[in-house]
Amino acid sequence: MVKRSPLYELQKKLGARFIEFAGFEMPIQYSSIKDEHLTVRKSVGLFDVSHMSNVWITGEEAEELISLTTVEDAFGVDDKKSQYTAILRKDGTVIDDTIFMHLGDKYMMIPNAGMDEIVTDWLNKKAEEHKVCAKAENVSKDYVILAVQGPKSRETLQKLTDVDLKNVGFFGCQYINLGDVDCIISHTGYTGELGFELQIAPSKKAEDVFNKILEAGNELGIKPIGLGARDTLRLEKCFILAGNEFEGGRTPLEATMSWTINWDHDFVGKEALLKQKEKGDYERLTCLECTSKGIPRHGCEIQKNGKKIGVVTSGTLSPCLNTGIAMGYCHPDYREKDSILEIIIRGKPVEAKVVKPPFVPKDWAQQN
């Protein structure tokens, strides 16, 4: 049975077209992906991302459980701070990438869409195995998650709350009353722009908040945004999409997430990562910008002089650059900056250049 967000009917009225993604029927676009994309880069957009999961982690040793099951040492994450991290299997491959928020004596974790039960069960199993006094509780059904993203996002949300949002710093999180609803706000997002995410429960209050945000942002040009633009926005910033970039089992070293790994603590998968790091010759996620016409897509082969050296995990036309962009895994010998590789699109090679992330710089909107 496909799940729907509690905002489905409202979104339908707003002209959304829907797709099924990870078991959820969610808006893919309202007006057009390009238009929605540029709206977020230049002003502000409102996303419903309720397909993402919500898991409470509670108990005396909640920090211990998070530290054991992620590459982050949770003891180092202050109250009212959130952290991007990854949950690994023993062999070092990623089960899911996630954010957890430190909210007083408990933590809320936001696993990806469809990962709620897998992550909850994994955490509880590890708590039992390692005798850690903490538990994970899947509360995904209770929450609507909204993302307000873009340079005008703070200005939009500030109209709906007495809390000075300038005090909610990057990756900050806290309880807040916004639009007369108590919820959790975090200065996080998946677009590379200034942005905030709201966890709202009970979910029936979300429709009211959704409408209030649209009203508050009206004069700033706010638009509702679908998952289509969410994907192009994240890809221009080289952010990972779990279903694509971890497909088939990838470690955080391969996914170029080594910056998230806190090596000074023990965690499930650490030994395997240390071995891989020492060996060194593993494939790494690589960003490619097409230098000729063509749009790379998931599954396209990457070649060098006719020899297969990797595969595209995500590809699209970049609405900001108007060129094809892709991420894929390549052997380290071929991924030096400015190297020219070929992406095979419908049997034909299209030249692409290795670039350092992100494809679209932070100040793109000011310059364009």
Partner 1 sequence: MSNEVRNDLKYTESHEWLKLKGDLAQIGITDHAQSELTDIVFVELPSVGKEVKKGEELCVVESVKSVSEIFSPISGKVSKVNDKLEDTPETVNESPYNEGWLVELEVQDKSEIDSLLDADSYKKTIG
- Which residue ranges make up the site for partner 1 (CB under 8 A)? 28-29, 32-35, 37, 228, 231-232, 293-295, 297, 316-317, 319, 346
Q: Closest CB to partner 1 among 15 and 249?
A: 15
Q: How far is the CB of 321 from partner 1 (least distance, A)?
A: 12
Q: How far is the CB of 228 from partner 1 (least distance, A)?
A: 5
Q: Closest CB to partner 1 among 261 and 302?
A: 302
Three-state SS at 259:
helix
- Asked if residues 299 and 348 have their Cβ atoms less than 8 Å apart, the reply is no
Phi (first) and psi of residue 347, to 5 degrees: 85, -10
Q: How far is the CB of 323 from partner 1 (least distance, A)?
A: 10
Inter-helix orientation angle 62-69/116-129, to 10°: 110
Q: How far is the CB of 245 from partner 1 (least distance, A)?
A: 17
Burial (0-12, 13-18, 19+ Cβ within 10 Å), 130: middle
- Taking the alpha carbons at both ends of the chain, their separation in whole angstroms is 44
If one counts every other C-beta atom within 10 angstroms of the C-beta of residue 121, the result is: 12
Residue 65's nearest CA partner among 137, 129, 123 is 123
Per the DSSP assignment, residues forming a β-bridge with 206 are none
The CA distance from 105 to 331, in Å, is 44
Q: How far is the CB of 96 from partner 1 (least distance, A)?
A: 23
The CA distance from 344 to 333, in Å, is 19
Tokens describing residue 182: 């108590």
Residue 85's nearest CA partner among 262, 204, 330 is 262
Q: How far is the CB of 267 from partner 1 (least distance, A)?
A: 36
Q: Closest CB to partner 1 among 229 and 309?
A: 229
Q: How far is the CB of 297 from partner 1 (least distance, A)?
A: 6
Q: Closest CB to partner 1 among 57 and 227?
A: 227
- Asked if residues 184 and 199 have their Cβ atoms less than 8 Å apart, the reply is yes
Q: How far is the CB of 214 from partner 1 (least distance, A)?
A: 21
Q: Closest CB to partner 1 among 111 and 328?
A: 328
The CA distance from 198 to 209, in Å, is 10
Q: Closest CB to partner 1 among 17 and 204?
A: 17
Q: Closest CB to partner 1 among 92 and 319?
A: 319
Q: How far is the CB of 184 from partner 1 (least distance, A)?
A: 31
For the chain, counts of helices (H) and of strands (E): 10, 20
Angle ∠(101,276,285) on CA atoms, nearest 5: 65
Q: Closest CB to partner 1 among 25 and 91?
A: 25
- Asked if residues 136 and 118 have their Cβ atoms less than 8 Å apart, the reply is no
If one counts every other C-beta atom within 10 angstroms of the C-beta of residue 275, the result is: 11
Q: Closest CB to partner 1 among 20 and 121?
A: 20
